Structure 1
Amino acid sequence: MKNLETITSEQQVNSLFQSFFDYVRHLVDIPESDQEECKKIFEPVFVKKGTIIEQEGTVHKYHNFIVSGHMRNFHHDENGNEVTTDINSGPRFFTSYYHFINQTVSNENLHCITDCELLRITKKNVDKASHIGLTSQEYTEKVLHFHLESSKQRIIDFTTLSGKERYIKLMKAHPSIVQNVPLIYIASYLGLNPGSLSRIRQELS
């Protein structure tokens, strides 16, 4: 099996888009006309576990919506060590957002930790949607606001919470991440070394 394959099953494609539209409705109503347009410009794909779908040192081609699976965003520090800056599961958009929108070279990697089902869209089609979609501009603004607020909260957590408190917060908010993502990635995301996180897990168990 290839690392990335276009999903062609009509039943599966409809299910993917239904998950996407349900997610969008949490932020803004999406009329039928916009739903039909989305089906034309988003590509449904299956990505195999372990695949890096966008690499550092490149201009990222796609804005990705996770329908199912777990992904992480990471870069390398000055010593060449991987630093995980975001981990998430579906449903949610997951992209090197700033670099994608501005089409600049990214220092980030998007890594499928597990098998993933994604809906992805090119920058060209994002721009097209902004001109013809009734809800796309409003939705884009709300997504950007969400990203900014999430980044702000992450900074606050690092300055006000202990490592143990950060892990407990993640465990309560995203139990599937704790259950499906390797400890080494979670530790990096929380700013801990794997040994410290392992001790915290043992204390909590």
Structure 2
Amino acid sequence: MYNAFFQTLKNTVDFSEEDIVVIKNHLTPKKLRKKQYLLQEGDVCKFVAFVEKGVLRSYSIDEKGIEHIIQFALEGWLIADLYSFLTMEPATYTIDAIEDCELVLISKSAHEELLKTLPKYESWIRLQITGAYIALQKRLTSIISLTLEERYESFISLYPHIVQRVPQHMIASYMGLSPETLSRVRKRITSRK
């Protein structure tokens, strides 16, 4: 169950076998069925989830009932409402499964304990947060500086696996577009080629 998680750890930081045993004792496996919630807006996010198998999404719904997808998470990715996890305040986002999922959960208490006892875990977390911040900054730059066509082409170039596994209306939501607008963007790109 933890194969992808430990492979990701070992690919980023040089964890010893003893470190792996300590970390494993702090993990909780979880399975979700398609459309099942991992976290609902308003609840406190008490864990970070690593995706072993499947696809999750994080989103909010505005006052008009329109869904705004903030993040997708596929195999090898982490997902949480980080603000809620760190502050223990109610979550702003809902997280649910787009596909059946197998997850590895790190609870808030386990996370704090691992930060205290394993410096390599702290290094790994720092690298994960840094990577997430860089991805967020790239996304914001894309939104303010690229045309819709360029944004979509960049998205499919960076995340071809998401495009293959996630419905187009969800990709439209992630991009801040209506499904109809995304369809027109895709047609314009196709007609240019």
Q: TM-score by structure 1 length?
A: 0.87
Q: CA deviation at 1:88?
A: 2.5
Alignment match, 2:154: 169
Q: Which amino acid aligns with 1:45?
A: K
Alignment match, 1:104: 89
SS at match of 1:166: helix
Q: Is the 8 A contact 1:163 1:192 kept in 2?
A: no
Q: Is the 8 A contact 2:56 2:97 kept in 1?
A: yes
Q: Which amino acid aligns with 2:33?
A: K
SS at match of 1:121: strand
Alignment match, 2:123: 138
Runs of 4 or more above 4 Å deviation: none
5+ residue gaps, structure 2: none
SS at match of 2:102: strand
CA distance in 2, matches of 1:204, 1:44: 42
CA distance in 1, matches of 2:22, 2:13: 16
CA distance in 1, matches of 2:4, 2:82: 21
Q: Is the 8 A contact 1:163 1:191 kept in 2?
A: no
Q: Which amino acid aligns with 2:127?
A: K
Give the alignment's Cα RMSD to 1 decimal.
Answer: 1.5
SS at match of 1:90: coil
Q: CA deviation at 1:49?
A: 0.5
Aligned residues: 190
Alignment match, 1:82: 67
Q: Which amino acid aligns with 2:128?
A: V
Q: Deviations over 1:19-51 (max 9, x none)?
A: 112212333211111111122111122210011
The within-5 A match list for 1:20-99 is: 20-99=5-84
CA distance in 2, matches of 1:114, 1:164: 28
Q: Percent identity?
A: 27
CA distance in 1, matches of 2:136, 2:85: 17
Q: Is the 8 A contact 2:149 2:189 kept in 1?
A: no
CA distance in 2, matches of 1:65, 1:163: 31
